[in-house]
Structure 1
Amino acid sequence: MPARQTGRMRASRLVSLLLLLQSRGRMTAQELADELEVSLRTIYRDVESLSAAGVPVYADRGPAGGYRLLDGYRTRLTGLTTEEAESLFLTGLPGPAAELGLGTVLAAAELKLMAALPPQLAERAARIRERFHLDAPGWFHGEEPTPYLNTVADAVWKQRRLHMRYRRWKTPTDITRTVDPLGLVLKAGNWYLIGRSDGDERTYRVDRILGLQMIEEEFERPVDFDLAEFWRSYLERFRSGMFSGEAVVRFSPDGMRALRHLLTPEVIRAAQRNAGPPDEDGWVRTVIPIESIRHAHTELLKFGADAEVLEPRELRDRIVGSAHAILARYGA
């Protein structure tokens, strides 16, 4: 590693060590080493360097000892770099920040911000961090590998065109596209690229990119493109186009209670909105939207005997066929 780069890294580490002591108070050598991901010997050497530079760092002996700054001492070395300032928009999402290659940058930005805050505000910020945590992915969501995420993010930032091979769900499944990357969206643990191709904005799941090349050609970003507004409109179109028909279903009391665990919010709202009065056994007749006969068959089987499909006939026959097949499989 070049000497100049090594020197910059050490200078950055010394500043980080100083800001840690300023924002957190007394810290042991081991705590500092763990935080900065260096050895204890490096911490001892860095503390000596700070002392030699006139920084009032003191060592308290004993079991509760550690390093601390002289009471009242504060440094003004809290200026954020451009990258650190940008990364602050992801402070609530440490996982996605790391995926975008901004993990260490974000940590440095947070440290500088904490050091710059007055003690009372710094204490409140630390309390919030201790007591609230955001976990964006849904339950049981397996993380899909996204090997091209950093390249996509780089292209979005630099306004560079992307030439990619992509696998979609409809035929032909594997396609080639040249896109102008306009933005990235994280939804339920999945990253989506919003890109313009052939004059239209399209959405691509980053984990379905099969191959990628960033073209050294800068595109002109549409001045009227609003990423948040596009995503809101896209979700509305997606939800409205998701359902192709309806089914008339009877749910038992247990089935009605299980709705929120087994169906999507749109279907749940429709089931509750269209529900008739319960019969003498508590069963409720309602109408729900369905994506397809095949999809509804799979979804409604989850209810077991707590749901009865009345219409359409094809869906009812499929459910009955599955019931007979299950009985035959178990020899009943």
Structure 2
Amino acid sequence: MKGNRLFEIIYILLDKKNVTAKELAEHFEVSQRTIYRDIEDLSQSGVPIYMTKGKGGGISLLSDFILNKAILSQEEKKEILAAMQGLNAVNKSEFNGVLSKLSSFLGGDNENWIEVDFSNWDKNNTLGEKFTTIKNSIINKNLISFEYFNSNGKLLERIVEPLKLVFKGQGWYLYAYCREREDNRFFKLTRMSNINIILENFNRTVPNKIFSEEDTGYYNELIHLKLRIDKKLAFRIYDEFHNYSLDDNGDFIVNLDFPSGDWLFGYLMSFGEYIEVLEPLNIRDEIKKKLMYALKKY
């Protein structure tokens, strides 16, 4: 659409400072005549855009030009502010000022229809500090070192090339290349401590997209579980599962695929007396052994 093209022309000029009509025509796959008409339309709209001839000439913006909010539609303004409100949840001190300036710039009586808070109920916002440190290391391509508690409860020391911050499954993770394992790994931010930026750069490319609909490659192995969970824990069913049905007693039958590992037993046992593992039998037997071992302590 023409409106989108005009908007993108401005951003190209803000980025590259000077572009020829031929380059713009090739970029948008339109004629140079169309580009000249676009430039005229922008000029008539008050955008300080001009053309120069000769060697080194082309289309430029005045150096002090600031993008006018009128170029954005009302819906686009709302989407930008909503996205910033989501980022504000990660570290309020860092994004509050940006959000305030954007809100004033975009004008608006923007409805605060969304509020996101990733901090725990105890209000100890160490997650925000970790997020900021890791974010800076990703942007500057610096190595980081930290201590990490893995799913087996072991304290590890790691040096990694941080590539991406990921929010998945109700938690924040760092996706990074681990120098120890020589492979990409996920690290849960809540299990990371003593994070330090190392003044050494890396050149590894940041992936555009880590997950796909079919991808489960970041798991070691998936195990299919069939569980019966007492209706007294209905609130956890609604919070944590999507594929469930009711039996004749009104209890929940849950079918799901979960990553393997010792952490799985701790998770299942967190349901206490209100869960029964129906399948597979090896997981059911292992749960039984762990419960018998725990019973000996009492």
Mapping for residues 285-324 of structure 1, pairs under 5 Å: 294-295=265-266, 298-301=269-272, 303=274, 308=276, 312=281, 314=285, 317=288
| Alignment-derived partner of residue 106 in structure 2 | 113
Q: Which of the pair has more CA radius of gyration?
A: 1
Distance 2:169 2:251 in 1: 34
Cα separation, partners in 2 of 1:298 and 1:215, compared to 1, 3 Å: same
Normalising by the residue count of structure 2, what TM-score does the alignment of the two structures yield? 0.51
Task: Give the deviation of 1:111 after TM superposition.
Answer: 1.6
| Alignment-derived partner of residue 149 in structure 1 | 131
Cα separation, partners in 2 of 1:212 and 1:244, compared to 1, 3 Å: same
Q: Which runs of 5+ in 2 are unaligned?
A: 1-63, 68-79
Amino acid at match of 1:212: N
| Alignment-derived partner of residue 49 in structure 2 | none
| Alignment-derived partner of residue 92 in structure 1 | 86
Cα separation, partners in 2 of 1:78 and 1:135, compared to 1, 3 Å: farther
Q: Which runs of 5+ in 1 are unaligned?
A: 1-76, 81-86, 115-121
Task: Give the deviation of 1:212 after TM superposition.
Answer: 0.7
**Aligned residues with identical type, % of pairs:** 15
The 3-state SS of whatever aligns with 2:139 is helix
| Alignment-derived partner of residue 166 in structure 1 | 147
Amino acid at match of 1:184: L
Q: How many matched pairs?
A: 212
Runs of 4 or more consecutive aligned structure 1 residues displaced over 6 Å after TM superposition: 283-286, 322-325
The 3-state SS of whatever aligns with 2:133 is helix
| Alignment-derived partner of residue 237 in structure 2 | 260
What is the aligned-residue RMSD (CA, Å)? 4.7
The answer on whether the counterparts of 2:158 and 2:178 sit within 8 Å (CA) in structure 1 is no
Mapping for residues 150-229 of structure 1, pairs under 5 Å: 150-158=132-140, 160-169=141-150, 170=152, 173-179=155-161, 181-187=162-168, 190-198=171-179, 200-207=183-190, 208-215=192-199, 217=201, 219-222=202-205, 225-226=207-208, 229=209
Distance 1:320 1:183 in 2: 39
| Alignment-derived partner of residue 230 in structure 1 | 210
Q: How far does the alpha carbon of each residue in 1:115-160 deviate from its partner, in whole angstroms, 9 at most, with x for none?
A: xxxxxxx34x2xx22xx123253885865514443332222223x3
| Alignment-derived partner of residue 4 in structure 1 | none
The answer on whether the counterparts of 1:97 and 1:106 sit within 8 Å (CA) in structure 2 is no
Cα separation, partners in 2 of 1:188 and 1:134, compared to 1, 3 Å: farther
Cα separation, partners in 2 of 1:187 and 1:103, compared to 1, 3 Å: farther
The answer on whether the counterparts of 1:165 and 1:176 sit within 8 Å (CA) in structure 2 is yes
The 3-state SS of whatever aligns with 2:159 is strand
